[in-house]
Amino acid sequence: MTPDLQEAGTALLERHHQQAVAAASAGGASFGRLMHASEPDFAHGVALYLDEISVSFDGFKALNSLSLAIDVGEMRCIIGPNGAGKTTMMDVITGKTRPDSGHAHFGSNIDLLRLREPQIVSAGICRKFQKPTVYEELSVFENLELALQNDRGVRAALFARLSGPQRERIAEILQLVHLLPEAHRIAGLLSHGQKQWLEIGMLLAQEPVLLLLDEPVAGMTDEETERTAELFLTLVGKHSLVVVEHDMKFVDMLTQGRRKVTVLHEGSVLAEGTLAEVQSNTQVIDVYLGR
Amino acid sequence: MTPAAPVQLLPESRRGLLLGVRGWSAVIGVLAVIAVLIPLLNLAVPAGNPLHLGDYGVALVAKIMCYAICALAMDLIWGYTGILSLGHGLYFALGGYAMGMYLMRQIGHDGNYRSDLPDFMVFLDWKAMPWTWAGSASFVFQMILVVAVPAVVSGVFGWFAFRSRIKGVYFSIITQALTFAGMLLFFRNETGFGGNNGFTDFKRILGISIAAPSTRMVLFVLTGLTLVAFYLLARAIVNSKYGRVLQAIRDAESRVMFTGYDPLKYKLSIWVLSAVMCGIAGALYVPQVGIINPSEMSPAASIEMAIWAAVGGRGTLVGPIVGAFFVNGAKSWFTQAFPEFWLYFLGALFIAVTLFLPRGIMGIKDRLKKEKGVEVKA
Amino acid sequence: MTTSRRSFSLTLGALAAFASLTSMTPAQAADTIKVGILHSLSGTMAISETVLKDTALMTIAEINAKGGVLGKQLEPVVVDPASNWPLFAEKARQLITQDKVAVVFGCWTSVSRKSVLPVFEELNSLLFYPVQYEGEELSKNVFYTGAAPNQQAIPAVEYLMSKDGGSAKRFVLLGTDYVYPRTTNKILRSFLHSRGVKDEDIMEEYTPFGHSDYQSIIAKIKKFASEGKKTAVVSTINGDSNVPFYKELGNQGIKATDVPVVAFSVGEEELRGVDAKPLVGHLAAWNYFMSIKNPTNAAFIKEWSDYAKSANLASKDKPLTNDPMEATYIGIHMWAQAVEKAKSTDTDKVIAAMAGQTFKAPGGFVSTMDPKNHHLHKPVFIGEIKPDGQFNVVWKTPGPIKAQPWSPYIPEDKGKKDEPEKK
Amino acid sequence: MRRLTLRSAFIALAAVLVMVAAPAWALDAAQARAIAVGDGDARIAALQDAVARADPGLATFAQALLDDSVKTTATGVFIVHDDKAVDAVTGQPARLPDDAEDVSNNNRMRGALQTALSGLRLVSPELATRRAAVDDLTKGDADPALLPVIAKAIARETDAGLKSRLERLKAAAQIAAPDRAQRLQAIQLLSNSGEPTVRALLQSRLAPDAETDLELRAALAHAVTQVDGRLAWGERLGVLFTGISLGSILLLVALGLAITYGLMGVINMAHGELMMIGAYTTWGVQNLFRHFAPGLFDAYILLAVPASFVVSAAVGAILERGVIRFLYGRPLETLLATWGISLVLMQGVRSLFGAQNVEVENPSWMSGGIAVTSNLVLPYNRLAIIAFAALVLLATWALISRTRLGLFVRGVTQNRRMASCTGINTTRIDTLAFALGAGIAGMAGCALSQVGNVGPDLGQSYIVDSFMVVVLGGVGQLAGTVLAALGLGLMNKMLEGIAGAVLAKIFVLIFIVVFIQKRPQGLFALKGRSAES
């Protein structure tokens, strides 16, 4: 298990403990998704707003006054050569890395830089890491069941029974991620791509506002890649998605020639526009082919 | 999509009844064997009769059933939660000692020295009971201790260990350190629990002679019922969402944390439960084998528990029980049939199982099923 | 799922079958008498007990060669309780109820004896216990052929206080922390008090089981010894820890002429593992030494070494005899005699017949079974370690002395009957 | 008391007798027999008598008695040195009668003979002999009757150190002298001694009825504290040394595990048995030497070390090939398999060599020790083991961090896929690494055979400790292992001084449990395969 996940996890839990102590009224429910912490306000239609973010690791500028805005329900693809700062950006959004300067807001009211990872998670930002982590020996159905938002307490878990709506919800997600026929299979027996989907499904089950997807089609067959693209497209509108990807074919499928693509380079936005536009952009060409 | 879809989604195997019809009939069958057949064979059938079941057999099965409870407990934490304890002998012994203390008091004045104090205290020139023996005369109180002491010890230890996220081998090793320390502590005569000799030569329980066939049979049946009860409890647990969280922790603890569950609470609760199960097993064990002493806390004893579970099959509930019976049955037979060589058999058995049956005896069937890609967990 | 549930029924259902299997009694062959041998052949105690198993087999073979008992051959049933105390009880029950043995020879540690005791009393069967022990026990169903404290510990300390023993004034009571040393030291302490030794001249020290690092203990002993009067060490360290203890002793240059050590659990077998040269002059108290010169012992040693060769034992190149072996040997012979006398193997008849049995022991004396207290009257020898790991007998009692299982030096024992209460 | 006057009598007379140079043999058969056989008192009386007559044959004869090389018959007394009999009376070679019996001495007799001899030796020409004699006398209690001899010895003594010790002997003898000045001088002299016996002596003088003069009592008290100061140093150093010595042993038993478990993540429960095999190998080598090269016996250890390494390594390699390689990445299952292996190995040794311990004799240069102070002896075998541990550590470290093999091992254990991509034959490396760990265990066993039991369950008693050390040190960290081993060793010994051996061990274990709470990864955390899992 990856240490960074570990960190995030415990941090999240500490936060929950505080919650439990603080909100006596919350009672057993203190382990639910803590939306009541501070509801983001999307009145202005902006889901995520990064402003002049700079991060430097001992001298090397990973992010250089990066500014970026993602609308509610928007799907944004982010491309760029290695070392362009894509992952660092994700780290900043999820609170894993603190920027040296700049602002990052979730909705119009939540300053991400003042929240810790778990708070960010509970505010509605979910991140999918490259390596799929699912519960190998549980069935697909059970994987989702555990991800479904509800009371996380031990007592509750002991006597929990799925309600009709919850089952339907799971069924929905299963259908969404093309795993309905696999519902009863052990997750460990799924193909790599299916695991990716399952994990995405698990994220969806947590009903995030913003999904950060780090190279979601890494190691997928073309056919799987296509279906993943379809899946993401169905999510557009319901959630905001930020997809970091190298695979141009995939990006093309997602953007369908009209959605915005952002090109990162040396820690700042090099170009923005449709895939066609940015691909014809000379600077971009230099960046990709020049060296 | 059709509203029907979700309904058929229910994994029947995990929902509804605890057991299917066949399962229940099996359990009832077992209950009948334990509570009716064996008592009859042992008590009603005359000794000469080939059908007669000797006290030795009864005692042996009773002992193994106690072990089976431990194996079940090990399975819950190791097989399902992925925490290997090499120190559950400690909890087994603690339960045993709690029971033993009561039995020592029951000896009353029939000891060597006709004293209120147990004989070993008289040896050591003690004039009064140490505080640890305060409630030892009361059956109820000691039975509470049988549960409470393992619960508290495991609770405290577990809370610290899980909170500081000690994992895998590290955890196993310090559980071993703990039980080893416990063993040394109980070996000390000053500790006040009979030192190396521990407790023995029990006379009666609840005023009834402990050697009487009827008493032995009652204890036997009690043990059997406890085993079945724990089996059903364990089954209920792994079938619940709680049980699935445990398995999730085993497979990807970080993800569990990241989806908002608190592994600490889950691990701790199952850890304490398993400790208590061992404690109760110990309490049932002592009056039937007639002795409790610190060697029950030796690291080797705890490792054997793990081995029962492994041989039978981790991650299945029947497996550990099978394992306990298989290993100990084999041991009892070998130690008489080949006193010089039995360790070879036992050693070879462990090696073979880990190499060829990673899922233990139950794994043989499971493997066949797995090839069909069918869900295999029990 | 279903399969596992079926196997649940299968297994636990087969439980009855299993149980009745274990209870299938091999019909006792009419022409043999079965005798059980209950010594650990594996685990920590195997070191000491294995050889007793062989001694027993040897003795039984000897008796069989002479025509057996009551005209029947003896059939030994060997089991391995594996140094596991509960297993001792289980195996005892097995021997008695399954194999229907007439008698059991076995046990070494007190805890194993205490573990089987209730079984023998419940099933009214016989146990012969061949090892020196702390006393404080007297069961109708047990015959103790080893030494009681007054047949080993007390004479040894008396010797140390004597002129020949170096007139020791201060004593270190050093032992492994379990019941035998505790009780023995308790007895010795009050014995020493009775001889006017003050508490400040007695140091009591205990080490854990299998303790292997005696540096600091020996440092303590040196310090204590250097505080004046002649000091002696009384060691009840249990068998296995003696090697590291003696090695350290030798290397720290404690000579027997400075601080003599007398041990109660160190015999020829224990010294097998030690280079005895630095230990010359340290003492041991036993009821038998291999080095005792008399025809009976010579024959005993010969018989043993022949047996070791014929049975191809690991020790055949250096066959050693020791006190517990002699005790086993005596015990089996006395039992055989008692059976002949009682014309039956019935427990109570044999117990009655055991009273006053005599046997010419390799120790060179005629050991007598006390008419009442189930212990042997035995001579006490004190030997000094020789460079070859043998003992040089420097003192012995004029004749056999009666065992006192209830030590007069333990106040609680006042007025205890010197015979088992009939149960 | 009788003993003392007796001993002083010897020494006085013995000294005299050395003055009178006499013919070598004058002991007659009857007297020789009287000294050699009979009950203690009679023999000592006879010995005393012989000394009284300044019998020149005595020295040789007494020495012979001490060496247990005297045999007697009804008539004759013989001194036998490597089966060449010499008539104790005439000193002429003689044929030893078949009925000749060994003369055996008990401690008391040996003591008496020893005293007689040291009396003679106090004025011997060899410095070493004299020193030995002084040592012997210093061990005993002071006695005024010694004064004349000591005085003579002092007069002749040339060696300064020895002279001052003799002075102290003299002082000790004078501590109760009637003359106050002498007493004072004695006290002052003794106050700069470091002898435990002297301390006892001074202490005894402080008894109410012993020394009455207040000033002198004060002086005595002062002297006692001074002596105590010196002794205290011996004790402190003692604790330190024992701690280090225990630490070195822990280090040896843990080093192999640090590789098999630390680097490779194999919970090797058979580690102890690999040590046991090493110890038995040592025993085997020793026996070979005893049979084929008794002359070189003291050198057997030099061959035993590599032998035990090779044998254990071979066994280790077989285990790795046969069992363990199928279990990589499943550490908790290696635990079960290796547990089974350990059972088999133990029983195997039992069937082969018997359940009893086997005798491993220290090479003579390893028995005994150096007396650093009067109350601190550093046994050679412990010193040797400390040095040995250091060497093994050095070698291991060099191997792991300085050689290609070590590089490969680290590579493979940290990321086997990557390693195999770079063309390393991972399976071979695994085998080698495991064999290495096993071999080191074997050498540890060889070392243990010099301090403790060699028996089938030798390993069992160390397995828990070795795991504690590795875990405490931080898996895969040699430095951590070293620190942990020494730390635990010292801690254990210091606690042992305070709380006794049993509690000390308990405390140490509890400490480990608590410590791991604070540092779940041990002293030195490790990023790598065996850290997680």
**D10: in domain:** yes
What digits encode the pLDDT tens for the residues B34-47? 888 888 888 888 87
CB contact under 8 A, D331 and B174: no
Q: Chain B: give the shortest CA distance to residue C201, in Å.
A: 20
> pLDDT category, B334, cuts 50, 70, 90?
confident
Q: How many CB pairs under 8 A join C and D?
A: 179
Q: What are the CA-CA distances from residue B140 to residues A87, A215, B102, B130, C111 (Å)?
A: 62, 62, 10, 19, 28
Comparing C-alpha atoms, which of D188, D242, D194, D248 is closest to residue D220?
D188
Q: Compare all CA atoms of chain B with the CA of D270 and give the residue at the minimum distance.
A: B347
Q: Which of D110, D135, D159 is the last residue of a domain?
A: D110
Contacts of B312 in chain D (CB under 8 A): none
Nearest to D356 among C207, C227, C272 (CB): C272
**CATH number of the CATH domain containing D253:** 1.10.3470
**Which pairing describes strands B204-205 and B291-292: parallel, antiparallel, or unpaired?**
unpaired
CB contact under 8 A, B257 and A202: no
For tokens 């003599």, the residue is: C260
Task: State the amino acid at position B12 in one-letter form.
Answer: E
- For residue A162, pLDDT over 60 is answered with yes
> How many whole angstroms separate alpha carbon A212 and alpha carbon A126?
6
- Top-confidence residue, C181 or D157: C181
Smallest Cβ distance to B9: which of A1, A141, A185? A141
pLDDT at D21: 40
Residue of C29, C57, C31 whose CA lies nearest to C332: C57
State the Cα–Cα distance between residues B184 and D223, nearest whole angstrom: 43
Q: Are residues D283 and D404 in the same domain?
A: yes
- Burial tier of C414 (Cβ tally within 10 Å: 0-12, 13-18, 19+): exposed
Q: What's the confidence (pLDDT) of residue A180?
A: 87
Is residue B373 less than 8 Å (CB to CB) from chain A? yes
Residue type, C380: V
CB pairs under 8 A between B and D: 128
Task: Flag whether D178 is in a domain.
Answer: yes
pLDDT at B7 over 60: no
Whether D1 maps to a domain, the answer reads no
Specify the pLDDT at position D529.
30
The average pLDDT across B306-310 equals: 90
Tell whether D399 is covered by a domain. yes
How high is the pLDDT of residue A3?
47
* pLDDT of A57 higher than 90: no
D340 contacts B354? CB cut-off 8 A: yes
Q: Which of C82, C114, D381, A32 is nearest to B342 (CA)?
A: C82
| Residue linked to tokens 């280790």 | D316
**Same structural domain for residues D266 and D326?**
yes
Is D468 in Cβ contact with B173 (below 8 Å)?
yes
Is the distance from CB of D17 to CB of D116 less than 8 angstroms? no
- Asked if pLDDT for residue B366 goes beyond 90, the answer is no
Chain D (198-257) residues lying within 8 Å, Cβ to Cβ, of chain C: 199-200, 203-204, 235, 238-239, 241-242, 245-246, 249
Calculate how close chain D gets to B173, using CA atoms only, in Å. Answer: 7
The pLDDT tens digits of the residues spanning A1-12 come to 444 555 555 555
- Per-residue confidence (pLDDT) for residue A7, from 0 to 100: 59
Residues of D in contact with C49 (CB under 8 A): 355
Largest CA distance in chain B: 82
Tell me: do D145 and D249 sit in the same domain: no
- Do C and A make contact via 3 or more CB pairs under 8 A? The reply is no
Both D95 and D128 in a single domain?
A: no
Q: Is the pLDDT of residue B321 over 90?
A: yes
Both tokens of A25, joined, read: 């009224």
Q: Are D96 and D189 in a shared domain? A: no
Q: Over 60: is that where the pLDDT of C6 sits?
A: no
C389 pairs with which residues across the strands? none
Q: What pairs with residue A212 in β-bridges? A: A127, A242
Question: Which of A137, A143, A175 is opposite residue B377, by nearest beta carbon?
Answer: A137
Mean pLDDT of A18-46: 53
The minimum CA-CA distance between A90 and chain B, rounded to whole Å, is 16
Distance CA C67, CA C49 (A): 27
The torsion defined by the Cα of C15, C18, C23 and C29, in degrees rounded to 10, comes to 170
Query: Could you tell me the sign of the dihedral formed by the alpha carbons of D10, D11, D13, D17, in that order?
Result: positive
pTM score: 0.84
Q: Please tell me whether residues D202 and D67 are part of one structural domain.
A: no
D155 plus D265 within the same structural domain: no
Residues 6+ positions from B51 with CB-CB distance below 8 Å = B41, B45, C20
Task: Flag whether C touches B (3+ CB pairs, 8 A cutoff).
Answer: yes
Cβ–Cβ under 8 Å, residues B187 and B93: no
> At residue B47, what is the residue type?
A
Mean pLDDT check: name the lowest of A112-116, C153-157, D282-286: A112-116
**φ and ψ at residue A203, rounded to 5 degrees:** -65, -45
Q: What is the pLDDT of residue A110?
A: 86
Name the average pLDDT for chain C: 87
pLDDT, residue A26, reads 37
A/B interface, count of CB pairs below 8 Å: 130
Q: With bands split at pLDDT 50, 70 and 90, how would you rate the model's confidence at C265?
A: confident
ipTM: 0.81
Sign of CA pseudo-dihedral A229, A233, A239, A242: positive
The whole-number pLDDT of residue C180 equals: 86
Find the angle CA(D131)-CA(D133)-CA(D135) to the nearest 5 degrees: 70
DSSP D382-400: HHHHHHHHHHHHHHHHHHH
Give the DSSP letter of residue C134: -
Question: Looking at the structure, do residues D388 and D317 belong to the same domain, yes or no?
Answer: yes
| DSSP result, B311-363 | HH-TT-SHHHHHHHHHHHHHHHHHHHH-TTTHHHHHHHHHHHHHHH-TTHHHH
Query: Of B10, B248, B265, which has the smallest distance from its Cβ to A135's Cβ?
Result: B248
Q: Which amino acid is at B33?
A: V
Alpha-carbon distances, residue B332 vs A40, B289, C43, C91, C120 (angstroms) = 67, 14, 15, 9, 20
**C128 pairs with which residues across the strands?**
C105, C143
Q: Which residues of B touch D339 (CB under 8 A)?
A: 303, 307, 350
Q: Which chain D residues are within 8 Å of B188, Cβ to Cβ?
A: 502-503
Closest by Cα among D524, D202, D140, D195 to D376: D195
**Do D43 and D109 touch, CB atoms closer than 8 A?**
yes
pLDDT above 90: residue C62:
yes
Q: Does residue B296 register a pLDDT over 60?
A: yes
Instruction: Indicate which of B354, B356, B359 best probes the interface with D, i.e. most D CBs within 10 Å of its own CB.
Output: B354
Residue D219 lies in a domain: no
* Chain C contact probe: residue of B196, B217, B304, B314 with most C CBs at under 10 A: B196
Testing the interface with B: which of A4, A7, A10 to mutate, by most B Cβ within 10 A? A10
Residue D115 maps to a domain: no
Show which subunits contact A, needing at least 3 CB pairs below 8 angstroms.
B
Question: Are residue D130 and residue D180 in the same domain, yes or no?
Answer: yes
Buried-exposed string C381-397: b where 16+ CB fall within 10 A, e elsewhere: bbbbbbeebbbbbbbbe
Q: Do C4 and B290 touch (CB under 8 A)?
A: no
Dihedral of CA atoms C111, C115, C116, C119 in degrees, nearest 10, equals 160
Tokens at residue D112, please?
A: 């008496």
From chain A, pick out residues whose CB is under 8 angstroms from the CB of B247.
135, 137-138
Q: Are B261 and A149 in contact (CB under 8 A)?
A: no
Whether D224 is in a domain gets the answer no
Confidence of residue B17 (pLDDT cuts 50, 70, 90): low
A278 is written with which tokens?
Answer: 């940015």
User: Is B245 in contact with A146 (Cβ distance < 8 A)?
Assistant: yes
Is D329 in the same domain as D457? Answer: yes
Residue type, C192: L
- Chain D hits for C256, CB-CB cut-off 8 Å, are 107, 110
pLDDT digits (tens, 9 = 90+) for B341-364: 888 988 998 898 888 887 888 877
Is the model more confident about D405 or about B242?
B242
Taking an 8 Å cut-off on Cβ atoms, the answer to whether B258 and A139 are in contact is no
Number of domains in chain D: 3
Give chain B positions within 8 Å (CB) of D340: 346-351, 354
- Positions of chain D with pLDDT under 50: 1-4, 17-25, 526-533
CA distance C210 to A62: 61
Specify whether D135 is located in the same domain as D204.
yes
According to DSSP H, which parts of chain B are helical?
Answer: 4-9, 21-32, 38-39, 55-74, 88-107, 119-123, 139-163, 168-187, 213-239, 241-258, 263-289, 299-312, 318-337, 342-356, 360-371
pLDDT category at C165 given cuts 50, 70, 90 is confident
End-to-end CA distance of chain B: 32
Domain that holds residue D33: 6-110
Tens digits of per-residue pLDDT, C65-110? 999 999 999 999 999 998 888 899 999 999 999 899 999 999 998 8
**Per-residue model confidence as pLDDT tens digits over C376-411:** 999 999 999 988 889 999 898 988 999 999 988 888
Of D212, D244, D270, the residue that ends a domain is D212
Determine, for residues D379 and C392 on separate chains, whether the beta-carbon distance falls below 8 Å. Answer: no
pLDDT at B9 over 70: no
Q: What CA–CA distances, in Å, run from B11 to A137, A140, A171? A: 15, 10, 12
Please indicate, yes or no, whether residues D150 and D22 belong to a single structural domain of this protein. Answer: no
Interface contact D239-C216, CB threshold 8 A: yes
- Identify the residue among B189, B351, B361 best suited for mutation to test binding to D, counting D beta carbons within 10 A and taking the highest: B351
CB distance from B358 to chain C under 8 Å? no
Which pLDDT value is given to residue A37?
45
Residue of C9, C84, C114 lying closest to B29 (CB–CB): C9
Instruction: Select from D54, D83, D110 the last residue of a domain.
Output: D110
Res C374: pLDDT = 94
Q: Which one of D333, D351, D471 has the shortest CB-CB distance to B354? A: D333
Q: What is the DSSP letter of A190?
A: S
CA B215/CA C227 separation, integer angstroms? 59
Does any domain span residue D217? no
Instruction: Please state, in angstroms and rounded to a whole number, the distance separating the CA atoms of residues D284 and A16.
Output: 64
Partners of B331 on chain D (C-beta within 8 Å) are: none
CB under 8 Å to A226, separation ≥6 — which residues? A253
